[in-house]
Structure 1
Amino acid sequence: MILPRTLSKRVRKMAATRILVHLQNVKNNEENPKLANFTQSVIDHFGTIGNNMTEVNAFLNDNKLIVTNDWSKGQPVKLKRPSFCPITNLTSPIRDNLPDDTKGRGIDTGVALILESTDGKVLLTRRAKTLRTFPCVWVPPGGHLEKNETFINAGLRECYEETGLQLTPQHFLSEDIKVLALWESVYPTKLTLGPPKRHHIVVYLYGKLKPGLDATTMNKQLQLEPSETDACAWFDRELVKRITEANEEQAAEHGHKHDKSKGMEEYVRGHVIDKDRQLEGDIPLGPLLAVSGAERDHERVSTGTKFALEEWLNAQN
């Protein structure tokens, strides 16, 4: 039997201070960051630079995520969304009929850690099917920031809570974990699946482990938290390329159709939870090559994760 972490993540969430997004567009002479509205497109606030993307600087200040185009605050990173983002396509009737507690909740902040082993593999986890948002979806370890945390603290805490991997900055090359990219995330992912209930800016972090911390070594420390994560695996560069090539935008243009034959009878070695027991075994590759389709919840790699993995691949070139 795998026991939950000492202090349940879900219990803490009930009492947690939410880290909300605040926006500042200095090109529009905005002197101070202002609280973002739930129905507001963060990317549109700054203007796109093409392909549903913009560049911003993001940092934490007084338990707020500040998203700005003031480059004196740091180096810009890409912020992206899918073309089918519900907030972008929100019509007035749907917006007006959203519950007051949804419209008034603001935009939350999440973190996700692209963790690279010393042998060049990245760890992805499958969210438990019992979770309220994005069940069965493959993502890096991650979750919400907590009060007074840094990005790094939050990323390492979430990694421990979900996978049992106890890491500190000292485990990483040059003790460096950096912001890789940002993603504007909305759930459900399309208006055809229902009105938006959650709106986040996800801060993707990246860090590479020091020599000696290869995937095989790290697997010995894995202890998945079943209420959060029911599978995980390490993916090499070639597998990551195949995952990112499952193109969400093309699928949306063609009625969400994708080649279901991809990955059939192929497997990746990983760990799964079966009847509260953690087992090592083969995980079918096919679902990881799927795209966000017409179903609300189905197994796939999240669109935001694919974007972050593309940025990881580009950084390796």
Structure 2
Amino acid sequence: MAGSCYTRVLVHLRKTPRDTYQPAVFAECVLEALGLCGEGQVECHLQDNKLLLQCSASASDVDTGTPKTRSYKLMHPPFCPSYHLAESGQKLDVGGKTGQGVGVGVVVLLESADGQLLLTRRAPHMHTFPNTWVPPGGHIEAGESLEAAGLRELEEETGLRVTEDERQTCQILGLWESVYPPVLSMGDPKRQHVVVYLHVTLTRSSEELQSELKLSPNEVDAAAWLTGDLVQLAVWDDTPWPESANDMLIPVTLVNQHGEHAQGTFEALVLKSSKDPSNLSINIERLSTGSRYALSLWLELQQKSSGSIKGANIQDLYGKYMQRKNDEKLSPKPRM
């Protein structure tokens, strides 16, 4: 990721084409502002250094003549802090954060020619989501497209460059509302983003790409390739976790602060750790909730293309995270 001196691209919202786009307000739930409950379809455009989101129309707007365009799934977890702040009516002292708005992140699900996905582990010194396994990504710089920003971040973090032919496969998979800290029990929101997940399929195998890895210790401290079977085990709650997986080790590339690389392993059980939001911890090594959602979108895409989709929608594929439960452990704790 480049230095912190850059023009931030912020989220702007409107419910219908008749409305005017307005900046999303920091610590206010984006989905609620759009009139959506936990999930919904949105149209997504990057224009004039603004990410414009509006609820998807079911047909062309008769009055404005606006044609129906492609829409994407936008979700957040049921324990989303901004949602629970609004639900509880609690007032948040955001101080100087009021005008910071809601930022935009771009994340790349990089698929090798042999069907493996690249994950990176955020370095422990990162201000948000340290020690967390995520696909590579970061912010958008002024004048960049979503694709250009994602591929730049990919190269900065991993050293991997996508060819012009490979870029033609780039597509949006879905969007995610991300708040940090991820649950209110960890404190008031400090960062809020809408993350756009991109999918790119390369013509090179994971073995070839592995030889080209040059991880940036400023951003990440490890990288790993996951097979489709491992992704399915990590994401779908209805997929039994085999006894043999308890001792399974996944090959990983490590990098130290001097940029020196080494080979190691990490336990496959990490992919299942802390799926219960009441047990989330700032420092625990885990797969992020948003990443699980993105991987579920990828799995659905794979199964649709192969004709083996089970007929389940994204909510079913994503498991218990997408179920709105009146569970005490998902409710915000009273403030003192």
TM above 0.5, yes or no, is yes
3-state DSSP of counterpart to 2:36: coil
Which residue in the other structure is 1:222 paired with?
213
Map residues 89-168 of structure 1 onto 2, 5 A cutoff: 89-90=84-85, 91-95=88-92, 97-99=93-95, 101-168=96-163
Select 1:302's aligned residue among 284, 288, 293. Answer: 288
- Between 1:33-42 and 1:137-146, the stretch displaced more is 33-42
Classify 1:166/1:133 alpha carbon distance in 2 versus 1 (closer, same or farther; 3 Å).
Answer: same
TM-score (norm 1): 0.85
Tell me, in whole angstroms, the C-alpha distance in 2 between the residues paired with 1:262 and 1:244: 18
Amino acid at match of 1:243: A
Which residue in the other structure is 1:250 paired with?
none
Tell me, in whole angstroms, the C-alpha distance in 2 between the residues paired with 1:111 and 1:184: 12
3-state DSSP of counterpart to 2:300: helix
Map residues 13-162 of structure 1 onto 2, 5 A cutoff: 13=4, 15-26=5-16, 29-30=18-19, 32-48=20-36, 52-71=38-57, 72=67, 74-90=69-85, 91-95=88-92, 97-99=93-95, 101-162=96-157
Aligned length: 285
3-state DSSP of counterpart to 1:87: helix
Q: Mind listing any 5+ residue stretches in structure 1 that lack a counterpart?
A: 1-8, 248-258
Map residues 167-182 of structure 1 onto 2, 5 A cutoff: 167-172=162-167, 175-182=168-175
Aligned-pair CA distance for 1:171: 2.4
TM-score (norm 2): 0.80
Q: In angstroms, what is the RMSD of aligned CA positions?
A: 2.0
1:252-304 CA-to-partner distances (Å, cap 9, x unmatched) read xxxxxxx9x99542111120124632112222222222125242231111101
Q: Identity of aligned pairs, percent?
A: 36
3-state DSSP of counterpart to 1:238: helix
1:48-105 CA-to-partner distances (Å, cap 9, x unmatched) read 36xx21110111000000001255363111000000000001144441x222x22221
Which residue in the other structure is 1:6 paired with?
none
Which residue in the other structure is 1:256 paired with?
none
Determine if the alignment matches structure 1 residue 286 to structure 2 residue 269: yes
Classify 1:219/1:147 alpha carbon distance in 2 versus 1 (closer, same or farther; 3 Å).
Answer: same
Amino acid at match of 1:46: L
Map residues 163-242 of structure 1 onto 2, 5 A cutoff: 163-172=158-167, 175-210=168-203, 213-242=204-233
1:141-173 CA-to-partner distances (Å, cap 9, x unmatched) read 10001100001101110000000001134225x
Q: Mind listing any 5+ residue stretches in structure 2 that lack a counterpart?
A: 58-66, 304-336
Amino acid at match of 2:15: N
